[in-house]
Structures are given as C-alpha cells and as structure tokens.
Chains A and B, each alone.
Chain A
C-alpha cells in the first residue's frame, strides 16, 4: 500500500508538471503563481463537497456536490483566476518581471487565504473529503486506494496524449516560436499575447484538475501544503526530465518523487533534529536545480525537434557554429530550435492573418 500511495502522488504531480511544462517549457514563462492554482482547485473541491461548516470552523459555499462535478467547477474557477493573473502578467512582462509579478499575485492570495478565515478557514484549512464514492462503489479501503491510483494513471495518460498531440500541433510549434523569438513570430503573423495566454489557461486548467485529485488524495488542505518550495520541486522535476518534452517531464516527476521519497527515507534523522530529513531533501532539490541548469539544461530527454532535422537556409543546412547569435535575454542558448520552430509555426497560417493585427510584445 505504501507504493500505491507513492505512485499515486507521483502520478498527480506528473499531471501538474505537464501543465506547468506547457507554460514554462513551450511558452517560456517562468510562472511562480502555478502552485496557487493547484491550491485553489483543491480548496474549491473541498468546499463544494464537504457540506456546511460547523462553527467555529468557517468556509465559503459548503455544498454537497458529487466530487467529479466539484472538480470540474473548481477547474472553471481556477482558469478564471489564471485569466486575471495571466492578463496582467503576460501582456507586457517577460522573464524575471513576469516571475516576480506572478509571485506577488500568489503571495497576496496566500496571505489572504491564511488570514481571512471566512474564506477557507485560514491557517486550519479545510478537511473531511474522505474517499468519496467508496460506499457507492462498494470497495474496501485498500481497494479504493488502488482504484484511485488507476483513475489517476488513466487521467495522466489522457493528459499525456492531449499534451503530446498539442505539442506536435501548429499551436505547440507556434508557442515554441514565440518562446524563441517573439518579434520574429509576430512578424510572421502570430499573436504573441494570445498564444501565451491560451497556453497559460491550459496549464492552469490542468493545475485545477490536479488540485481536485490532490484533495481526494490527502483529504485535508491548509496553507502549509502550498508553500513556494512545493513548486520548486515540480520545476526541478521538469528540469531533470527535459523541459518541453512531455515524456521526459513525466519521467522526471517519477524519478524525483520516487527517488527522493525513497532516498530520504534512509537519511539519518536524529530525534533531537526532526527538521533534518526534510531540510536535507530541500537542499538536494536546490542542488539538483543548480547542477541541471549549469551542466545539462536540456534535461535527460531533449525537447523533440520539429519535422525538419536541421535548420535549413537557402536549401543548405547551417552548421551550428554559423547560426546567427540570439538576441540577449532570449533562451536560444539552451537549444537551437528557433529557426525550425519559427518557420513551421509561421508558414502555415501566416498568409491568412494581417500583419497589422499582431501584438507587439518585444521591447
């Protein structure tokens, strides 16, 4: 049963990582608000299913909806929040400005949830969603946990199929072209803000779904469950697996979660120092982020190139050494897909859009 729980957790976070990878890996926006979407999805799933609060506990809504409906509603609200934050942060801001803005937004939300008890009972959080549907399905506790694992893995597989399909689609290529060079893709008729915005909302929807699953998995949620460190673990997993490569991302999550949970079990944790184990885990994650960024930024599995095997100009392949240098501030240093992505994403629909309608987002 221990392994069932470990794999379930990794599966849930793999769905989350797929969503985050669309935003960060394809679109190139380092989003620090992302864990807030999981949190909101989780909170809403609780308050929509566990019924009216009994004083002194207080929270909003308090309905008795079926859990599937609750998760769908939670996803809708989460996408709504992402629509607001994304509209503010994505329009003109990039790179660290984007990251700082999203961090500011999620920190404001965090403090509000923590201090304003009528919302989700402040620091105590919400709880009481215990194995929804167990009696209806007539399952034992262990049987339910295994069934839930199967549900999570099926959802992960569906999410993977969807993301993989999107990744190869014109939309996926357009996002990558925008990531590599916004001005170039705008010149090819891409609407930069629109593309990034849609990617952001899609990622947030997956985060909302994950929040709902997480609610069922841990059956209690409070502010200590969504500190900023949690998000860094997901970023570390994406970095390890391979940014922009859905299969790599899933593998990265399983490696990091199962690897870390297993490895850190064997760390000595003296009774006088109960913090030692968790702290050591965080240190290893920090080290992993830095070392991956420094020595292997593309991860274990490289982002899969598009249809052309090599960038081609005037009919002849250009050696990597002679490609034009990327403008500063863009991420071309980490992989050389710019020429490919721009051409593919740009050529398909460029003629149909008027250049005058493009967003000017370059600085």
Chain B
C-alpha cells in the first residue's frame, strides 16, 4: 500500500509536468489547427536557456524558470511567424511534416551549440517531505504547485479576459472571428507566445526533475505530451489537464509494478488504444464519426 501511495505521489508530479506541456500543445492546436511536432523543442530550448543562465543568476530557481519561459515564448512566436503563418491554407499534414523538419533543425542546432552529451543542472532536488501519504522532494512540491498555478492562470485568461474570449472564438472558427472584428493574427501570435512560455517553463521543470538532460529531452517527451493531449481531447485545454493526470498516473503505476524501463512502452500502447477507441478523448461520448484532422 505504501508503495502504491508513493507511486501515486510520483505520478502526480509527472502529471503536473505533463499537464504544462500538454496544455501548451493543445493551445497551439486550438488557434492554428496544427499538431506542432516542434513543440518538444520549446521544452528543450527552455531547459538549455535555463542551463546557460544558471551561472549568471547564481542558481536562482525562480530566475531560471523565468528565462526558460521567456525563451520558450520567443521560440513560439518565431515558429508561428516563420513557419505556421507561411503555411497557412496548406493541409494539416503538410504543416505537421514541416514542424517535424523544424524539430530536426532545432535539435541539431542545440547539438552544435551545447554538444550531444548530457548537461547537468546544479539546482538540487531539495529535502524529502512526507505530506499525507505521499513522499515528495521540495522540487516535486514546487512542480505541482506551479502546474496548478499555471492551470489556474490559463483558466482565468481564457474565461475572464477579452484575450481569452478571442482565443476561444478563433479556435471555433478563425474566419468568423475575423469578420467579427477580432485581430486574429495578433491573438494567434499572443497565444503562441503564451504556449511557448508554458512549454519553455515545462522544459525547465522537466530537466530539473531529471537533473541531467540532452538535446533530445523535448522530442522524447513529445509523444507522452501527445498521449496526454489525445486522452483529454485535442484542442480542449481543460480536458487536457485531466488527460495529463490519467497518463501521468497510468505510466507511473504500470512502471512501478513491471519495470521502469517499460514505462514509456505502456504510454505508447495507451496512445494506440486511445486512438483506436477514443480518438476524441476520454471525456466525450464515444463518437461514431471518424476523426479527421
């Protein structure tokens, strides 16, 4: 029982990171109808920029998190301006392949700058805490709290501000939003900045949890992100949080009771099963209509 509860605790921490990354991915999809395969690179960029900044900011975790988010936001805007907008009107799969090309480029630019070998953070994990039945390190707690905070902030942004209203309108119908006077290009750009910032932060948090990471950090986390997003339903930010929770817990539990090496095997099998039975997410009634992107 204790093992199980500790597993749940670790699962919650995994789910928290996953939710950050997945919410960003789903926001990108919501406004641009693009499955962004360069999304993982936002995470990697965030992690590396924080790595470069840690010496300058004297191992200050908060400062590192902020510059990771800023770098992610810049990367998000650059991708939207340089690629997504250039491919407007092209089919979803064409843009998807193009983002795959971007992922390849960014990953290898990072290899050239930082080398292919792993680098290590010097932030440390902090002490172990027993909170209720769970066993968490200080950084686990920081991760969970910050993920909840980000989720709350995104909720407020989307539901209570003009910006959020515009995002929701664009995600339903960009042309209709535009004729209603919404500056779609600007709002989409801002959404990519927001998504990039969240993803960059997620990358820092992810790298911090591992302590050591390499240029493939984001890409290897991408499929897990997509699994969580699909579990919630692509383009639905709140359901994505639920999806992240399910996937985070599922892989930790499966990993603990078999072998941690097979954790991701379970995640990917879960992805295939989801696609087979619930391609529109587990929170909607099973649809009889086939999915089209």
Let me know if B97 and A330 touch, CB within 8 A.
no
Q: How far is the CA of A337 from the CA of B230 in the complex (A)?
A: 33
Q: Which chain B positions have C-beta within 8 A of A94?
A: 290-293
Chain B contact residues (Cβ within 8 angstroms of A): what range? 35 or more
Contact for A115 among B90, B92, B111, B262, CB less than 8 A: B262
Shortest distance from the beta carbon of B11 to any chain A beta carbon, whole Å:
19
Q: How far is the CA of A287 from the CA of B109 in the complex (A)?
A: 12
B148 CB–A CB distance under 8 Å: no
Chain B CB count within 10 A is highest, among A99, A100, A101, A112, for A100
Q: Which chain B positions have C-beta within 8 A of A286?
A: 101-105, 108
Q: Which chain A positions have C-beta within 8 A of B261?
A: 111, 115
Query: In residues 77-101 of chain A, which contact B (Cβ within 8 Å)?
Result: 88-89, 92-97, 99-101
Contact for A283 among B83, B104, B271, B291, CB less than 8 A: B104
Contact for B111 among A101, A107, A275, CB less than 8 A: A275
Interface with B: A201-209, A247-255, A289-297, which one?
A289-297
Query: In residues 15-47 of chain B, which contact A (Cβ within 8 Å)?
Result: 35
Q: How far is the CA of A362 from the CA of B290 in the complex (A)?
A: 7
Let me know if B91 and A331 touch, CB within 8 A.
yes
Shortest distance from the beta carbon of A92 to any chain B beta carbon, whole Å:
4
Contact for A93 among B83, B107, B275, CB less than 8 A: B275
B5 CB–A CB distance under 8 Å: no
B13 CB–A CB distance under 8 Å: no
Shortest distance from the beta carbon of A252 to any chain B beta carbon, whole Å:
15
A105 CB–B CB distance under 8 Å: yes
Given contacts A88-B272, A104-B227, contact A282 B104 (CB under 8 A): yes
Q: Which chain A positions have C-beta within 8 A of B116?
A: 275, 279
Let me know if B275 and A280 touch, CB within 8 A.
no
Chain A CB count within 10 A is highest, among B97, B109, B289, B291, for B97
Q: How far is the CA of A360 from the CA of B223 in the complex (A)?
A: 29
Chain A 331-363, CB within 8 Å of chain B: the 1/0 string? 101100000000000000000000000001111
Let me know if A88 and B275 touch, CB within 8 A.
yes
Shortest distance from the beta carbon of A335 to any chain B beta carbon, whole Å:
12
B94 CB–A CB distance under 8 Å: yes
A285 CB–B CB distance under 8 Å: yes
Contact for B292 among A95, A99, A280, A289, CB less than 8 A: A95
Q: How far is the CA of A100 from the CA of B29 in the complex (A)?
A: 14
Let me know if B275 and A104 touch, CB within 8 A.
yes
Let me know if A105 and B272 touch, CB within 8 A.
yes
Q: Which chain A positions have C-beta within 8 A of B250?
A: none
Given contacts A104-B272, A282-B104, A329-B292, contact A273 B112 (CB under 8 A): yes
CB-CB nearest in chain B for A274: B116
B87 CB–A CB distance under 8 Å: yes
B264 CB–A CB distance under 8 Å: yes
Q: Which chain A positions have C-beta within 8 A of B265?
A: 108, 111-112, 115
Let me know if B279 and A104 touch, CB within 8 A.
no
Let me know if B292 and A363 touch, CB within 8 A.
yes
B86 CB–A CB distance under 8 Å: yes
Q: How far is the CA of A235 from the CA of B13 in the complex (A)?
A: 37
Given A30-B93, A111-B264, A289-B100, 19 further pairs, Cβ under 8 A: A30-B97, A92-B279, A93-B279, A97-B293, A100-B35, A105-B272, A107-B268, A108-B268, A232-B100, A283-B105, A286-B108, A289-B97, A289-B104, A290-B102, A293-B90, A293-B98, A329-B92, A331-B94, A360-B290
A residues in contact (CB < 8 Å) with B: 30, 88-89, 92-97, 99-101, 103-105, 107-108, 111-112, 115, 229, 232, 235, 273, 275-276, 279-280, 282-283, 285-290, 293-294, 297, 328-331, 333-334, 360-363
